[in-house]
């Protein structure tokens, strides 16, 4: 038996970044999952969990499992993997929990195979995990999880991923402990949108991308506006409007729903402000009596990494 093994961190991610539905995502320093991989010399997948989320250990029903399976098939069934998963990103939080499992599995396996696959191939492998988790092959969590920083997924078919440079940003995240399923959050969206709203949205996306690349915090803040998805999805998140209002009053540049929620993220241009924003949000959910967890963190610029 081959005993080569490694341990990696797979970061949580914020998909959409308010105006960039399905095309933008950003990696977080915290939270992150920890995964350990051992390369096996026969085509089997052995999954262990070091957490209490009760996720499946059956490869076909496990996000990391289906990703590893697709890699084993590409390697003509000559290898296998044993993986131990310690999830710290709560499933269903909207912080890219399934993407961390999927991207972590792809990058971890690739390390053990001496990095024979390039980033595009890793994203392709990992999308199999997202398909299992949400029914849709999307890459707006996977790509920043693998690459770090802010990623643009211009197109899925063909896959076209672009790293967007960004200034330092401080991110306040709150995860109210309520359940919003990605598939439900997708279902309630309208299939058609007004052209005038779409124009507003793409103006904001262009503003956000140029603001990030110009290190223009004010422009980033003005562009964090979503006239299409947020008005619908925010209904599922108690306290959303107040969180946004109070966060801005506390100095946040702006923010919104992380992925399909229920987590909310707010961007600030310094650590103190991000802490003040956290305080303002804590007050709201304490008052509402909703259990929650908050993070104050920065952008993870490395993506999945060995540690």
- The encoded tokens of residue 219 equal 């422009």
Interface with a second copy (CB under 8 A), residue from 199, 235, 291, 306 = 199
**184 sits near a second copy (criterion: CB under 8 A):** no
Which residue number, 70 or 223, has a Cβ lying nearer to a second copy? Answer: 223
Pairing between β-strand 150-155 and β-strand 24-40 as defined by DSSP bridges: antiparallel
Q: Decide if 182 is catalytic.
A: yes
Q: Which of 64, 105, 164, 304 binds a second copy (CB under 8 A)?
A: 164
Task: Indicate whether 160 belongs to the interface with a second copy (CB under 8 A).
Answer: yes
For residue 188, the number of C-alpha atoms closer than 13 Å in the C-beta half-sphere is 15
Closer residue to a second copy in complex, CB, 213/291: 213
Per CB under 8 A, 294 contacts a second copy: no
Which among 88, 187, 110, 103 is positioned nearest to 138, based on CA atoms?
103
Using the rule CB under 8 A, give the single segment among 105-113, 154-162, 265-273, 279-287 that binds a second copy.
154-162
If DSSP codes are grouped into helix, strand and coil, which group holds residue 25?
A: strand
The alpha carbon of 14 is separated from its chain's Cα centroid by a whole number of angstroms, namely 4
Assess 200 for contact with a second copy (CB under 8 A): yes
- 96 or 207, CB closer to a second copy? 207
* Cα gap 166→90, rounded to integer Å: 26
Tell which one of 76, 78, 191, 307 touches a second copy (CB under 8 A): 191
* x/- track of binding to a second copy for residues 123-152 (CB under 8 A): -----------------------------x
Is 190 a binding residue for a second copy by CB under 8 A? The answer is: yes
Host H or E run for residue 207:
helix 195-213
CA distance 282 to 299: 22
Q: Which of the residues 13, 82, 130, 294 is marked catalytic? A: 130
- Quick one: CA dihedral 243, 245, 247, 252, positive or negative? positive
Q: Shortest approach of a second copy to residue 103 CB, angstroms?
A: 20
Residue among 78 and 196 whose Cβ is closer to a second copy: 196
Cα 211 from Cα 275, distance rounded (Å): 23
* Rounded Cα gap, residues 181 and 88, in angstroms: 18
With respect to a second copy, which residue has the nearer C-beta, 16 or 101? 16
Total of chain residues touching a second copy, rule CB under 8 A? 40
The rounded distance, in Å, linking the Cα atoms of 239 and 251 is 18
Cis peptide before 31 (omega within 30 of 0): yes
Q: How far is the CB of 224 from a second copy (least distance, A)?
A: 12
Residue among 275, 227, 230 at smallest CA distance from 251: 275
Binding segment toward a second copy, per CB under 8 A, in 33-41, 122-130, 186-194, 234-242: 186-194
Which of 44, 131, 113 has its CA nearest to residue 83?
Answer: 44
| 188 scored as a contact of a second copy (CB under 8 A) | no
Query: Residue 213 in 3-state DSSP?
Result: helix
| Closer residue to a second copy, CB minimum distance, 7 or 137 | 137
What H or E segment, with its residue span, contains residue 170?
strand 170-176
100 near a second copy, rule: CB under 8 A: no
Look up 73 and say whether it is catalytic.
no
Q: Active-site residue among 13, 143, 182, 297?
A: 182
Catalytic site positions: 130, 182
Chain contacts with a second copy (rule: CB under 8 A) = 19-24, 152-155, 160, 162, 164, 189-196, 198-207, 209-211, 213-214, 219, 222-223, 228
């Amino acid at each position: 038996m081959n005993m080569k093994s490694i341990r990696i961190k797979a970061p949580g991610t914020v998909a959409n970044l308010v105006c960039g539905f399905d095309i933008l995502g950003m990696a977080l320093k915290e939270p992150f999952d920890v995964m350990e991989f051992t390369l096996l010399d026969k085509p089997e997948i052995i999954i262990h969990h070091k957490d209490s989320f009760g996720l499946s250990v059956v490869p076909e029903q496990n996000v990391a499992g289906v990703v590893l399976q697709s890699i084993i098939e590409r390697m003509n069934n000559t290898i296998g993997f044993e993986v131990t998963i310690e999830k710290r990103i709560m499933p269903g939080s909207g912080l890219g929990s399934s993407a961390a499992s999927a991207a972590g599995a792809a990058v971890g396996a690739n390390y053990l195979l001496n990095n024979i696959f390039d980033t595009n191939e890793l994203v392709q492998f990992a999308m199999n995990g997202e398909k299992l988790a949400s029914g849709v092959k999307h890459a707006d969590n996977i790509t920043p999880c693998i690459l770090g920083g802010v990623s643009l997924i211009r197109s899925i078919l063909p896959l076209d991923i672009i790293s967007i440079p960004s200034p330092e940003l401080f991110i306040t995240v709150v995860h109210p402990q309520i359940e919003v399923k990605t598939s439900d959050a997708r279902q309630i969206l309208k299939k058609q949108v007004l052209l005038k709203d779409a124009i507003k949205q793409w103006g904001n996306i262009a503003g956000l991308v140029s603001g990030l690349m110009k290190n223009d915090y004010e422009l980033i803040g003005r562009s964090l506006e979503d006239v299409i998805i947020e008005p619908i999805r925010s209904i599922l998140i108690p306290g959303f409007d107040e969180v946004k209002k109070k966060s801005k009053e506390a100095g946040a540049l702006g923010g919104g729903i992380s992925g399909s929620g229920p987590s909310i993220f707010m961007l600030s241009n310094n650590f103190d402000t991000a802490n003040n924003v956290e305080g303002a949000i804590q007050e709201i959910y304490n008052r509402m009596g909703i259990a929650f967890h908050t993070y104050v963190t920065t952008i993870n610029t490395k993506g999945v990494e060995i540690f």
